């Protein structure tokens, strides 16, 4: 008993510094957020009052919020599919090569090193200047679109830039997983007369299920919070056509209204939705992994 108490004391001493910063800057905000979401706190005045579930009721009928949510869902769906398919294709292609593997890996990972703010502005230059030049001078007239100004093209532009920035990371994870697939298995499949296509889907793909779970989890999570790319590229415009939920919350809290309590209610709803979707995803995919 005494030993246990002593152990716990030394544990507490060692954990305390981490617990302190964690408690103050993550745990407390997370917990108190639920409370602020039920107040009319506006960030400027010192006093605020408890309004119960009024904010949540308002969120439910907030057209802009759900428009942003719908946009975000569309973005998440497209990103999860496109980024993962391309990343896996690149990983397989690079792994199939004997030479220049390192060079390709280096190049494809490069965008991940640079902040999406920088990447976003660079692409803005491409979309507003370079593509027009190509269309005017090289006869590539299909490039002559309002890439930032038209909602449909703006969505496409955002996906291009976001995928450009995310694919390298996913590719690295897929490559690590592919390297873990034993060559004997592939050899055996080859001897049994399987072609490359069959070998990939029947042997390799089931073996990298773990990487697939990680990558889809990561894409889901980061795509739901998308901010930098849209902030730099379209700023949520034209109008609010490309506004993501994170941008909508930022706008509510830090531009114009400063309705902190209400914005917190919005972010709580976002958290609940993300939580449910990621838990469902992990359950589904973990279950599949074990079957194999």
Partner 1 sequence: MKQKRLLVDWLVFIALTLAALFTLFPLLMALMNSFKTNGQLLTDVVGWPQSLNFDNYLRTWDKMHYLRSLGNNLYLAIISVTLIVLLSALAGWRLCRTKTKLSGFLFSLFVFSMLIPFSSIMIPLYRVVLVLKLKNSLFGLCLVYAGLGVSMAIFLYHGFVKGIPLELEEAAAIDGCTMRQTFFSIVMPMLSPITATIVITNALWIWNDFLLPLVVISKNDKYTLLLSTNTLFGQYSSDWTAILSALILAAVPVIIFYAIFQKRILEGIADGAVKG
Using rule CB under 8 A, residue 62 touches partner 1 = no
Structure tokens at 263: 């914005």
Using rule CB under 8 A, residue 65 touches partner 1 = no
Using rule CB under 8 A, residue 71 touches partner 1 = no
Using rule CB under 8 A, residue 285 touches partner 1 = no
Residues 6+ apart with CB under 8 A from 144: 131, 132, 135, 136
Using rule CB under 8 A, residue 12 touches partner 1 = yes
Using rule CB under 8 A, residue 122 touches partner 1 = yes
Query: Is the distance from CB of 174 to CB of 211 less than 8 angstroms?
Result: yes
As a whole number of angstroms, the distance between CA 22 and CA 28 comes to 8
* Binding-site member from 50, 53, 81, 133 for partner 1 (CB under 8 A): 133
Using rule CB under 8 A, residue 221 touches partner 1 = yes
Query: Is the distance from CB of 266 to CB of 65 less than 8 angstroms?
Result: yes
Residue 256 CB coordination number (10 Å) = 8
Beta bridge partners of 50: 39
Structure tokens at 278: 């990621």
Stretch that binds partner 1, among 60-68, 146-154, 183-191, 227-235 (CB under 8 A): 227-235
Using rule CB under 8 A, residue 119 touches partner 1 = yes
Residue 79 CB coordination number (10 Å) = 21
Using rule CB under 8 A, residue 149 touches partner 1 = no
Using rule CB under 8 A, residue 210 touches partner 1 = yes
Helix, strand counts (H, E) of the chain: 15, 0
Using rule CB under 8 A, residue 191 touches partner 1 = no
Tell me whether residue 25 or residue 50 sits nearer to partner 1 (CB atom).
25
* Binding-site member from 78, 181, 214, 241 for partner 1 (CB under 8 A): 214
* Binding-site member from 71, 108, 147, 155 for partner 1 (CB under 8 A): 108
Using rule CB under 8 A, residue 188 touches partner 1 = no
As a whole number of angstroms, the distance between CA 288 and CA 283 comes to 9
Helix pair angle (209-224, 63-95), 10° resolution: 150
* Smallest separation, CB 10 to partner 1 (Å): 7
Using rule CB under 8 A, residue 236 touches partner 1 = no
Query: Is the distance from CB of 94 to CB of 105 less than 8 angstroms?
Result: yes
Using rule CB under 8 A, residue 216 touches partner 1 = no
Using rule CB under 8 A, residue 249 touches partner 1 = yes
Query: Is the distance from CB of 209 to CB of 88 less than 8 angstroms?
Result: no
Subset of 74-93 contacting partner 1 (CB under 8 A): 90, 93
Q: Is 62 helix (H, G, I), strand (E, B) or coil?
A: coil
Stretch that binds partner 1, among 147-155, 166-174, 181-189, 197-205 (CB under 8 A): 166-174
């Amino acid at each position: 008993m005494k030993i246990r108490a002593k152990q716990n004391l030394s544990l507490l001493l060692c954990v305390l510094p981490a617990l302190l910063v964690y408690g103050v800057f993550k745990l407390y905000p997370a917990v108190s957020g639920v409370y602020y979401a039920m107040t009319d706190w506006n960030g400027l005045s010192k006093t605020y009052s408890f309004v119960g579930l009024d904010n949540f009721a308002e969120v439910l009928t907030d057209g802009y919020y759900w428009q942003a949510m719908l946009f975000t869902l569309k973005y998440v769906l497209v990103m999860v599919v496109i980024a993962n398919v391309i990343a896996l294709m690149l990983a397989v292609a690079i792994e199939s090569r004997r030479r220049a593997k390192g060079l390709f890996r280096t190049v494809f990972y490069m965008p991940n090193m640079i902040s999406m703010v920088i990447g976003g502005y660079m692409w803005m230059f491409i979309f507003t200047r370079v593509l027009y030049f190509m269309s005017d001078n090289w006869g590539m007239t299909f490039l002559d679109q309002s890439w930032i100004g038209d909602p449909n093209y703006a969505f496409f532009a955002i996906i291009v830039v976001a995928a450009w920035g995310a694919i390298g990371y996913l590719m690295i994870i897929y490559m690590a997983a592919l390297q873990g697939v034993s060559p004997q298995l592939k050899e055996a499949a080859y001897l049994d007369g399987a072609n490359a296509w069959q070998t990939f889907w029947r042997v390799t793909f089931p073996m990298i299920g773990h990487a697939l779970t990680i990558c889809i989890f990561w894409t889901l999570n980061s795509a739901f919070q998308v901010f930098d790319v849209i902030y730099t590229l379209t700023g949520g415009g034209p109008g609010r056509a490309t506004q993501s939920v994170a941008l909508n919350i930022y706008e509510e809290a830090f531009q114009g209204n400063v309705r902190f309590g209400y914005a917190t209610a919005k972010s709580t709803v976002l958290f609940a939705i993300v939580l449910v979707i990621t838990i469902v995803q992990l359950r589904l995919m973990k279950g599949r992994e074990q079957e194999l």
